[in-house]
Amino acid sequence: MEPDEGETPVFVATQSPASDVPAFTFEADPDLGIEKRVIFDAAVAGDAEVGLRAQGYTEDEIARSEPLIRNADAMMQAVSKDTEAGIRQGLSALAGLLPGNPRSIKRIINMASAYQVSATVVFGRDFRPGQERWRQLIMFVVLSSERPRIWEALLRERDLADRVCACLEPGADWPDLPGKPEDDVHEAARDRRALAILRDDGALGLLRTEAIPDPDGTSVTTRLTEDALADFRILMPLKARS
Protein backbone atom coordinates (compact mmCIF):
# COMPACT_ATOMS: atom_id res chain seq x y z
CA MET A 1 0.00 0.00 0.00
CA GLU A 2 1.55 3.25 -1.14
CA PRO A 3 0.88 6.47 0.81
CA ASP A 4 -1.14 9.18 -0.93
CA GLU A 5 0.81 11.93 -2.62
CA GLY A 6 2.06 14.40 -0.05
CA GLU A 7 1.76 11.98 2.86
CA THR A 8 4.76 10.91 4.88
CA PRO A 9 5.34 7.15 5.01
CA VAL A 10 5.22 5.77 8.56
CA PHE A 11 7.73 2.95 8.43
CA VAL A 12 10.15 2.32 5.54
CA ALA A 13 12.55 -0.63 5.70
CA THR A 14 15.98 -0.27 4.11
CA GLN A 15 18.64 -2.96 3.85
CA SER A 16 21.98 -1.98 5.36
CA PRO A 17 24.94 -3.16 3.20
CA ALA A 18 27.15 -3.31 6.29
CA SER A 19 25.09 -6.01 7.99
CA ASP A 20 22.86 -8.97 7.21
CA VAL A 21 20.36 -7.52 9.71
CA PRO A 22 17.98 -5.00 8.10
CA ALA A 23 18.20 -1.45 9.40
CA PHE A 24 14.90 0.39 9.64
CA THR A 25 14.73 4.14 9.16
CA PHE A 26 12.12 6.79 8.46
CA GLU A 27 12.44 7.97 4.88
CA ALA A 28 10.95 11.40 5.52
CA ASP A 29 13.70 12.59 7.90
CA PRO A 30 17.00 10.67 8.09
CA ASP A 31 18.35 13.05 10.74
CA LEU A 32 15.76 12.51 13.47
CA GLY A 33 16.43 14.27 16.73
CA ILE A 34 14.79 11.59 18.90
CA GLU A 35 14.89 7.80 18.64
CA LYS A 36 11.79 6.46 16.89
CA ARG A 37 10.84 4.00 19.64
CA VAL A 38 10.84 6.81 22.22
CA ILE A 39 8.45 8.80 20.02
CA PHE A 40 6.23 5.77 19.44
CA ASP A 41 6.02 5.06 23.18
CA ALA A 42 5.17 8.71 23.86
CA ALA A 43 2.35 8.53 21.30
CA VAL A 44 1.03 5.34 22.87
CA ALA A 45 0.93 7.08 26.28
CA GLY A 46 -0.91 10.15 24.91
CA ASP A 47 0.19 13.30 23.09
CA ALA A 48 3.70 12.53 21.80
CA GLU A 49 5.03 16.10 21.80
CA VAL A 50 3.80 16.77 25.34
CA GLY A 51 5.25 13.49 26.53
CA LEU A 52 8.63 14.17 24.95
CA ARG A 53 8.85 17.61 26.56
CA ALA A 54 8.04 16.02 29.91
CA GLN A 55 10.96 13.64 29.35
CA GLY A 56 13.33 16.58 28.89
CA TYR A 57 13.86 16.58 25.12
CA THR A 58 14.84 19.97 23.69
CA GLU A 59 12.80 22.07 21.29
CA ASP A 60 15.45 21.49 18.61
CA GLU A 61 15.22 17.70 19.01
CA ILE A 62 11.44 17.87 18.89
CA ALA A 63 11.51 20.13 15.81
CA ARG A 64 13.85 17.77 13.92
CA SER A 65 11.58 14.84 14.79
CA GLU A 66 8.34 16.68 13.98
CA PRO A 67 7.36 14.58 10.90
CA LEU A 68 7.64 11.38 12.89
CA ILE A 69 5.85 12.87 15.92
CA ARG A 70 2.99 13.91 13.63
CA ASN A 71 2.82 10.43 12.09
CA ALA A 72 2.93 8.68 15.46
CA ASP A 73 0.05 10.77 16.81
CA ALA A 74 -1.94 10.29 13.59
CA MET A 75 -1.39 6.54 13.76
CA MET A 76 -2.84 6.44 17.28
CA GLN A 77 -5.79 8.61 16.24
CA ALA A 78 -6.47 6.20 13.37
CA VAL A 79 -7.16 3.42 15.83
CA SER A 80 -10.91 2.96 15.66
CA LYS A 81 -13.24 1.74 18.40
CA ASP A 82 -13.68 -1.47 16.41
CA THR A 83 -9.91 -1.98 16.38
CA GLU A 84 -9.70 -1.52 20.14
CA ALA A 85 -12.70 -3.79 20.69
CA GLY A 86 -11.04 -6.55 18.69
CA ILE A 87 -7.81 -6.12 20.66
CA ARG A 88 -9.70 -6.31 23.96
CA GLN A 89 -11.44 -9.50 22.86
CA GLY A 90 -8.14 -11.08 21.88
CA LEU A 91 -6.57 -10.06 25.18
CA SER A 92 -9.51 -11.40 27.18
CA ALA A 93 -8.63 -14.85 25.87
CA LEU A 94 -5.18 -14.43 27.44
CA ALA A 95 -6.51 -13.12 30.76
CA GLY A 96 -4.49 -15.58 32.83
CA LEU A 97 -1.23 -14.28 31.31
CA LEU A 98 -1.93 -10.54 31.62
CA PRO A 99 -0.68 -8.18 34.33
CA GLY A 100 -3.07 -7.28 37.13
CA ASN A 101 -2.46 -3.55 36.73
CA PRO A 102 -5.24 -1.89 34.63
CA ARG A 103 -2.78 0.79 33.47
CA SER A 104 -0.44 -1.90 32.12
CA ILE A 105 -3.34 -3.56 30.31
CA LYS A 106 -4.36 -0.23 28.77
CA ARG A 107 -0.80 0.28 27.54
CA ILE A 108 -0.82 -3.21 25.96
CA ILE A 109 -4.12 -2.37 24.22
CA ASN A 110 -2.66 0.90 22.90
CA MET A 111 0.51 -0.82 21.68
CA ALA A 112 -1.38 -3.66 19.99
CA SER A 113 -3.79 -1.21 18.34
CA ALA A 114 -0.95 0.96 17.06
CA TYR A 115 0.99 -2.02 15.72
CA GLN A 116 -2.14 -3.29 13.99
CA VAL A 117 -2.60 0.05 12.21
CA SER A 118 1.12 0.24 11.43
CA ALA A 119 1.10 -3.29 10.01
CA THR A 120 -1.67 -2.34 7.61
CA VAL A 121 0.42 0.63 6.38
CA VAL A 122 3.70 -1.29 6.15
CA PHE A 123 2.50 -4.53 4.56
CA GLY A 124 -0.46 -3.23 2.58
CA ARG A 125 -2.92 -5.74 3.99
CA ASP A 126 -5.38 -5.77 6.85
CA PHE A 127 -4.49 -7.41 10.13
CA ARG A 128 -8.08 -8.29 10.98
CA PRO A 129 -9.09 -9.69 14.38
CA GLY A 130 -8.92 -13.46 14.41
CA GLN A 131 -6.56 -13.86 11.46
CA GLU A 132 -3.44 -15.87 12.20
CA ARG A 133 -0.94 -13.01 11.93
CA TRP A 134 -3.23 -10.83 14.09
CA ARG A 135 -3.36 -13.55 16.77
CA GLN A 136 0.43 -13.87 16.63
CA LEU A 137 0.78 -10.07 16.93
CA ILE A 138 -1.44 -9.93 20.03
CA MET A 139 0.55 -12.69 21.70
CA PHE A 140 3.88 -11.09 20.85
CA VAL A 141 2.85 -7.64 22.09
CA VAL A 142 1.85 -9.16 25.44
CA LEU A 143 5.18 -11.01 25.49
CA SER A 144 6.97 -7.67 25.05
CA SER A 145 5.26 -6.45 28.22
CA GLU A 146 5.41 -9.56 30.39
CA ARG A 147 8.67 -11.17 29.24
CA PRO A 148 10.67 -8.28 27.71
CA ARG A 149 14.03 -10.10 27.81
CA ILE A 150 12.62 -13.10 25.95
CA TRP A 151 10.84 -10.77 23.51
CA GLU A 152 14.08 -8.93 22.77
CA ALA A 153 16.12 -12.13 22.45
CA LEU A 154 13.67 -13.56 19.89
CA LEU A 155 13.81 -10.37 17.83
CA ARG A 156 17.57 -9.95 18.07
CA GLU A 157 18.93 -13.53 17.96
CA ARG A 158 17.67 -15.33 14.88
CA ASP A 159 19.37 -18.63 15.59
CA LEU A 160 17.74 -18.83 19.02
CA ALA A 161 14.39 -17.69 17.60
CA ASP A 162 14.51 -20.32 14.85
CA ARG A 163 15.18 -23.03 17.44
CA VAL A 164 12.32 -21.91 19.66
CA CYS A 165 9.91 -21.68 16.69
CA ALA A 166 10.93 -25.16 15.53
CA CYS A 167 10.15 -26.54 19.00
CA LEU A 168 6.67 -24.99 18.86
CA GLU A 169 5.71 -26.99 15.76
CA PRO A 170 3.27 -29.91 16.23
CA GLY A 171 5.07 -33.06 17.34
CA ALA A 172 8.45 -31.30 17.68
CA ASP A 173 10.95 -32.62 20.21
CA TRP A 174 12.34 -30.11 22.66
CA PRO A 175 16.11 -29.93 22.99
CA ASP A 176 17.59 -32.91 24.84
CA LEU A 177 19.72 -31.28 27.52
CA PRO A 178 22.31 -31.21 28.82
CA GLY A 179 24.05 -31.61 25.48
CA LYS A 180 26.36 -34.49 24.80
CA PRO A 181 30.13 -33.84 24.97
CA GLU A 182 30.45 -34.19 21.23
CA ASP A 183 27.76 -31.60 20.55
CA ASP A 184 28.73 -28.23 19.14
CA VAL A 185 29.31 -25.90 22.09
CA HIS A 186 27.40 -22.99 20.56
CA GLU A 187 24.45 -25.18 19.56
CA ALA A 188 24.32 -26.69 23.05
CA ALA A 189 24.31 -23.20 24.63
CA ARG A 190 21.56 -22.07 22.25
CA ASP A 191 19.48 -25.15 23.06
CA ARG A 192 19.84 -24.55 26.79
CA ARG A 193 18.46 -21.04 26.35
CA ALA A 194 15.66 -22.29 24.09
CA LEU A 195 14.67 -24.88 26.66
CA ALA A 196 14.65 -22.27 29.43
CA ILE A 197 12.21 -20.19 27.37
CA LEU A 198 9.98 -23.17 26.63
CA ARG A 199 9.91 -24.22 30.30
CA ASP A 200 8.67 -20.74 31.32
CA ASP A 201 4.92 -21.38 31.46
CA GLY A 202 4.09 -17.69 31.14
CA ALA A 203 6.27 -17.30 28.07
CA LEU A 204 5.12 -20.58 26.50
CA GLY A 205 1.49 -19.50 26.83
CA LEU A 206 2.33 -16.44 24.73
CA LEU A 207 4.29 -18.41 22.14
CA ARG A 208 1.72 -21.16 21.57
CA THR A 209 -1.92 -21.10 22.63
CA GLU A 210 -5.40 -22.33 21.74
CA ALA A 211 -7.05 -19.50 23.67
CA ILE A 212 -7.63 -17.05 20.79
CA PRO A 213 -10.24 -18.25 18.26
CA ASP A 214 -10.14 -17.68 14.51
CA PRO A 215 -12.56 -15.25 12.75
CA ASP A 216 -15.29 -17.93 12.77
CA GLY A 217 -14.94 -18.45 16.52
CA THR A 218 -13.30 -21.84 16.05
CA SER A 219 -10.64 -22.95 18.51
CA VAL A 220 -7.27 -23.10 16.76
CA THR A 221 -3.64 -23.42 17.81
CA THR A 222 -1.67 -20.23 17.28
CA ARG A 223 2.10 -20.38 17.57
CA LEU A 224 4.96 -18.03 16.91
CA THR A 225 6.57 -18.78 13.54
CA GLU A 226 9.73 -17.65 11.79
CA ASP A 227 7.79 -15.75 9.12
CA ALA A 228 5.76 -13.94 11.79
CA LEU A 229 8.99 -12.90 13.52
CA ALA A 230 10.27 -11.57 10.20
CA ASP A 231 7.25 -9.25 10.09
CA PHE A 232 7.64 -8.25 13.73
CA ARG A 233 11.30 -7.31 13.23
CA ILE A 234 10.02 -4.70 10.77
CA LEU A 235 7.24 -3.45 13.05
CA MET A 236 9.36 -3.52 16.22
CA PRO A 237 12.93 -2.63 15.22
CA LEU A 238 15.46 -2.79 18.06
CA LYS A 239 18.17 -0.26 18.68
CA ALA A 240 21.57 -1.65 17.70
CA ARG A 241 23.78 -2.60 20.62
CA SER A 242 26.88 -0.47 21.09
Tell me the percentage of the chain whose pLDDT exceeds 70.
76
223 three-class SS:
strand
Is the confidence at residue 216, as pLDDT, over 50?
A: yes
What is the predicted pLDDT for the residue at 113? 82
What is the predicted pLDDT for the residue at 181? 55
Q: Output DSSP code: residue 25.
A: E
What is the predicted pLDDT for the residue at 17? 28
The mean per-residue pLDDT over the stretch 26-48 comes to 67
What is the predicted pLDDT for the residue at 101? 82
Cα 212 to Cα 90: distance, rounded to the nearest angstrom: 6
23 three-class SS:
strand
Label residues 80-105 b or e (16+ Cβ within 10 Å = b): eeebeebbeebbebbeebbeeeeeeb
pTM for this entry:
0.66
What's the first-to-final CA gap in the chain, in angstroms? Answer: 34
pLDDT, one tens digit per residue, over 50-97 is: 888 998 988 988 888 888 787 777 766 666 677 778 888 888 888 888
Cα 203 to Cα 58: distance, rounded to the nearest angstrom: 38
Q: How confident is the model at residue 178 (pLDDT cuts 50, 70, 90)?
A: low
Q: Select the highest-mean-pLDDT range: 19-33, 110-124, 193-207.
A: 193-207
57 three-class SS:
coil
Query: Which is more confidently placed, 7 or 56?
Result: 56
pLDDT, one tens digit per residue, over 92-136 is: 888 888 888 888 888 888 888 888 877 877 776 767 778 888 889
Cα 80 to Cα 236: distance, rounded to the nearest angstrom: 21
